[in-house]
Amino acid sequence: MILQPRLLVFFTLMLMVLRLSAAPSVAPTPLPALIYGSAWYPEQWPEAEWDADLERMQAAGMNMVRIGEFAWSTIEPAEGRYELDWMERAVAAAAKRGMVTIIGTPTDTPPAWMTTKYPEILRVDETGVRLQHGSRRHFSIGSEKYRELCRAVVEKLADRFGKNPHVVAWQIGNELTEDSFDPESRGRFHRWLEKRYGTLDALNQQWMTAYWSQTYTEWSQVPMTTGRANPGLLLDHKRFVTDTWLDFQRNQIDVLRARVDPRQVITTNLGGLGWANKFNRQQISADYDVISWDEYLGSGWFDKTKNGTGHLDPLRSGATHDLVRGWKQKNFWVMEMPPGFVDWGSVSNSLDRGETRAMAWHAVGHGADCIAFWQWRSALNGQEQYHGSLVGPDGEPVPVYAEAAQTGRDFAKAAPVLAGTEPRSDVAVIHDYDSRWAIEFNPFSNRYDQMQILIDYYRALREPTQAVDIVTPAMDLSRYKLVVAPSLNVVSPRLAARLGDYVRAGGHLVLGPRTGMKTESNALSRERQPGALLENVGARVEQFYALLEAVPVAGAWGEGKATVWAEPLGRLAPDVEVTLRYGAGNDWLTGEPAAVRRQLGKGTITYLGAVLDSTFMDQVALGWLKDAGIATNAKISAPDGVKISRRVGANREVFVITNFSKGAQEIVLPGAMTDVLAGGEVTVAKLPRYGVAVLTRPLT
Ligand code: GAL
């Protein structure tokens, strides 16, 4: 039988369709238990060089590349003209080398054609200057046009890569950094205020605008400023910035959620060293599946902070990891870490040999399930051409590459043991954005360094327990036996009730100085401090004093010094016990209660009105832990500078030990453990300087 040509074409087409649908579709690559990789910018290099890069990544044990976050001018070289084939080839090339891809949406860097055609999308700084093109973060988060352009590019990316089996995650923008003061953003601010307060009368009342004739008769009169303005306005502006970031990111997240496979994780990398507080990071974290941050605490921090040594400060770094973990109360990712050095420090010194690996392991101990470097290869040109990388501009390894490769080998061994484990803590330290902002707007004493005070509490509690969470008051507190809130300045009646419930149900709560002075509008509470918490505490702050000289304190917890800040307390309820009193010093304080404690329901509530010296703080914290029934004999005792973290899974515990001390250390273990990196059983962990041990044993 001779087939008609038309029929022939039809059958051939049918055969092709059948063959295509029968072809096995590539199963998605699962998210590795421990993700390890680097930021990679294929758009900056000839395609012929890609595989050499990827081969070296693979040889270093990497299983992930992060691409795309600054590539908008390559992705969309002209309006509406999208070029994604190169990206697809990059994803495929990485997959061939066994690596999954995280795609960053390129919205941190709008291209020049865009900023020229739509200048209204450019950010305006607080002095009213509109940014020009040539750097990054030059867009306004409030611009509707910009959001439309972002949506369009994210749609194209989602359609192309949303089902790609090798794409495992999306990163929204990059480090969500600068807010804007352009007219459109001002309009948004006014509408935001109107929604919050309903009427100008309500706003005028909450902000007490009769003060200095600030009374507003039109919404548009309200200034947008971060200077020394009305405290209510300043706090609301921060909340507004948070909400603006929230809907800026949702604009992209919604597009992705509607189009991509649910297995693809949506995240963003937060910069500014974790502590940055331009907006409420816990609030914006709620939108993501996983939260990640960029760990740059070490190189370059030579004289930027008084604590900066140019090396990793494991205490601050550990606290920051725990803070980030607290935003979602689950393991997190480190999306960027410098391979040795940055290029933006006053002295961009290098971390020592071994320190980069120890830094990576330290993060894993605190709950990181992803470690990625910034960046893979030195860019020939561009603002950060000196920055640390793993291969030089020639594509050949630089010295730190070998250390990254060792880390890769470590991770390959440890990943199966770490899978499904996470840090667990009975203790939480509260970090509250509203309170932090409220104090920052007027610290009253420049010695009141809130973050230092928080870290002091953290250190005193972590050393004996080797596990502390840092959470915001919005998180679930019921899982902790002890919650301490060092500077909880802003307390709403709702928060006071939540905290009261926590205590009545058996929790132990310690409130530090400056607690409850302010209402949600950053107004002074009509009641004396601790404001909405007054009834629960059963005592009030008679006055607050910024100290020039330390004042002795003594009581049930021993004796030490009140420094920086002191509040004498007055008992209002008969069952309130005084646990600390001021000695002779500032005459206003002499003999007055410095701390009180009270049983409330099944738990206790303590108010400490003074900032204590560090040594005494350590002692006092031991008392709090004991009262809360938390074991203070750390599982493994460690010398100074040796950091121990514990991750717990269903049937095993894993200890990550990093030695940041000046020399070699031997750590005696409480029994035999499996040495995950070196192999075999050990009872003593021997660590050279910057050495790492990963030990595991069944959970008993
Ligand atoms: C980060 C940023 C990276 C790179 C890096 C340099 O804040 O996300 O793109 O600039 O700093 O240290």
pLDDT digits (tens, 9 = 90+) for 517-565: 999 999 999 999 999 999 999 999 999 999 999 999 999 999 999 999 9
Give yes or no for residue 70 CB within 6 A of ligand 1.
no
- Give the Å distance between the CA of 243 and the centre of ligand 1: 24
- Tell me if residue 7 falls in helix, strand or coil: helix
Residue range 371-386: mean pLDDT, rounded? 96
Q: Residue 271: CB within 6 Å of ligand 1? A: yes
Q: Is 174 in the pocket of ligand 1 (CB under 6 A)?
A: yes
Q: Across residues 659-672, what is the average pLDDT?
A: 95
Q: Calculate how far, in angstroms, residue 343's C-alpha sits from the geometric centre of ligand 1.
A: 10
Q: What is the mean pLDDT of residues 117-132?
A: 97
Per-residue confidence (pLDDT) for residue 586, from 0 to 100 = 78
Atom of ligand 1 nearest to the CA of 269: 8
DSSP assignment letter at 664:
-
Atom of ligand 1 nearest to the CA of 70: 9
- Which tokens hold the place of 217? 């008769």
Of the pLDDT bands very low, low, confident and very high (cuts 50, 70, 90), residue 2 is very low
- Nearest atom, ligand 1, residue 296 CA: 12
Contacts of 306 (CB under 8 A, 6+ apart): none
Residue from 231, 436, 222 nearest 323 by CA:
436
What's the pLDDT band for 300 if we cut at 50, 70, 90?
confident
Residue 308 has a pLDDT of 81
**DSSP type of residue 25:** P
pLDDT bin (cut points 50, 70, 90) of residue 497 is very high
Say if residue 208's pLDDT is above 70: yes
pLDDT per position as a tens digit, 450-468:
999 999 999 999 999 999 9
Given a contact cutoff of 8 angstroms between Cβ atoms, the answer to whether 280 and 433 are in contact is yes
- Mind telling me the catalytic residues? 175, 336
Average pLDDT over residues 342-360: 96
Ligand 1 mean position to 199 CA, how many Å? Answer: 43
Closest CA to 479 of 463, 468, 495, 487: 468
Residue 207 main-chain phi, psi, to 5 deg:
-90, -5
If one residue of 135, 268, 336, 343 were mutated to test the ligand 1 pocket, choosing by the most ligand atoms within 8 A of its CB, it would be 336
pLDDT band per the 50, 70, 90 thresholds, residue 26: confident
pLDDT value of position 633: 67
Helix, strand and coil in the chain, % to nearest 5: 35, 20, 45
Q: How many CA atoms lie within 13 A of 69 on its CB side?
A: 26
248-262 pLDDT, tens digit each: 999 999 999 999 999
Ligand 1 centroid distance, CA of 374 (Å): 7
Say yes or no: CB of residue 272 within 6 Å of ligand 1: no
Lowest mean pLDDT among 26-30, 136-140, 418-422, 436-440: 26-30
Contacts of residue 503, defined as CB under 8 A and 6 or more positions apart, other chains included, come to: 509, 536, 600, 601, 603, 604, 605
- Which residue in 37, 83, 290, 30 sits closest to 171, CA to CA? 290
Q: Are 328 and 367 in contact (CB under 8 A)?
A: no
- Mean pLDDT, residues 394-400 taken together: 98
Q: Above 70 in pLDDT, residue 16?
A: no
From ligand 1's centre to the CA of 615, what distance in Å?
Answer: 37
The two tokens of residue 518 are: 């302010």
Q: Which of 384, 389, 390 to mutate to test the pocket of ligand 1 (most atoms within 8 A of CB)?
A: 384
Q: Which amino acid would we find at residue 107?
A: T
DSSP class of 43: G
Contacts made by residues 394-398, CB under 8 angstroms, sequence distance 24+: 395/49, 395/52, 395/53, 395/56, 397/56, 398/339
**Ligand 1 proximity of 374 Cβ (cutoff 6 Å):** yes
Q: Is the peptide bond before 530 cis (omega within 30 degrees of 0)?
A: yes
Instruction: Check if 293 has its Cβ closer than 6 Å to any atom of ligand 1.
Output: no
Q: What is the pLDDT of residues 302-350, one digit of tens each?
A: 876 666 889 999 999 999 999 999 999 999 999 999 999 999 998 999 9
Tell me 13's DSSP state: H
Question: What whole-number distance in Å separates Cα of residue 553 and Cα of residue 216?
Answer: 47
Q: Is the pLDDT of residue 169 over 70?
A: yes
- Flag whether pLDDT at 14 surpasses 70: no
Contact (Cβ atoms closer than 8 angstroms) between residue 536 and residue 515: no
Q: What single string gives the DSSP state of each residue in 487-554?
A: T--B--HHHHHHHHHHHHTT-EEEE-TTTT-B-TTSPBPSSPTTGGGHHHHTEEE---EE-SS-EEEE
* Contact assessment for residue 354 and residue 362, using Cβ atoms and an 8 Å cutoff: no
Query: Is there an atom of ligand 1 within 6 Å of 171 CB?
Result: no
Binding site membership of 384 for ligand 1 (Cβ less than 6 Å): yes
Distance between CA atoms of residues 603 and 503, nearest Å: 5
Atom of ligand 1 nearest to the CA of 343: 12
Residue identified by tokens 């941190």 is 108
Whole-angstrom distance, CA of residue 203 vs CA of residue 214: 11
Q: What is the pLDDT of residues 43-98, one digit of tens each?
A: 999 999 999 999 999 999 999 999 999 999 999 999 999 999 999 999 999 999 99
Reduced to 3 states (helix: H, G, I; strand: E, B; else coil), residue 205 is helix
**Ligand 1 pocket: which of 177, 294, 389 to mutate (most atoms within 8 A of CB):** 294
Give the closest residue (by CA) to ligand 1 atom 7.
271
Ligand 1 centroid from CA 435, angstroms: 29
CA dihedral 531, 534, 536, 540 (to 10 degrees): 130
Q: What is the pLDDT of residue 97?
A: 98
| Cβ(661)–Cβ(355) below 8 Å | no
For residue 387 and ligand 1, the question of a CB distance below 6 A is answered with yes
Helices 144-161 and 85-96 pack at an angle, to 10 degrees, of 50
The yes-or-no verdict on residue 6 having pLDDT over 60 is no
Beta strands in 174-287 (DSSP E): 265-267, 269-270
Q: What is the pLDDT of residue 4?
A: 54
- pLDDT score at 465: 92
**Structure pTM?**
0.95
More confident residue, 297 or 378: 378
Confidence at residue 247, expressed as pLDDT on a 0 to 100 scale: 97
Phi, psi for residue 324 in degrees, rounded to 5: -65, -40
Going from the Cα of 86 to the center of ligand 1, the distance in angstroms, rounded, reads 24
Return mean pLDDT, the chain: 94
Structure letter (DSSP) for residue 81? B
Q: Are 642 and 686 in contact (CB under 8 A)?
A: no
Please report the atom of ligand 1 found closest to the CA of residue 383: 10
Task: Give the pLDDT mean for 205-217.
Answer: 97
* Residue 40 near ligand 1, beta carbon < 6 Å: no
User: CA neighbours within 13 Å on the CB side: how many for 435?
Assistant: 27
Contact 267, 169 (CB under 8 A): yes
**Is residue 447 within 8 Å of 433, Cβ to Cβ?**
no
- Measure Cα distances from 590 to 545, 565, 567 in Å: 13, 14, 11
Whole-number Å distance between alpha carbons of 350 and 190: 47
296: helix, coil or strand?
Answer: coil
Determine whether the shortest distance from the Cβ of 372 to ligand 1 is under 6 A. no
Residue 21 has pLDDT above 90, yes or no: no
pLDDT of residue 632: 78
* Cα–ligand 1 centroid distance for 411 (angstroms): 24
Q: Give the pairing type, strands 577-582 and 610-612.
A: unpaired
Q: Does residue 336 line the site of ligand 1, with CB under 6 A?
A: yes
Q: Residue 364 pLDDT more than 70? A: yes
Rounded distance between C-alpha atoms, residue 494 and residue 37, angstroms:
43
Residue 419 Cα to ligand 1 middle (Å): 28
Q: Give residue 306's pLDDT.
A: 62
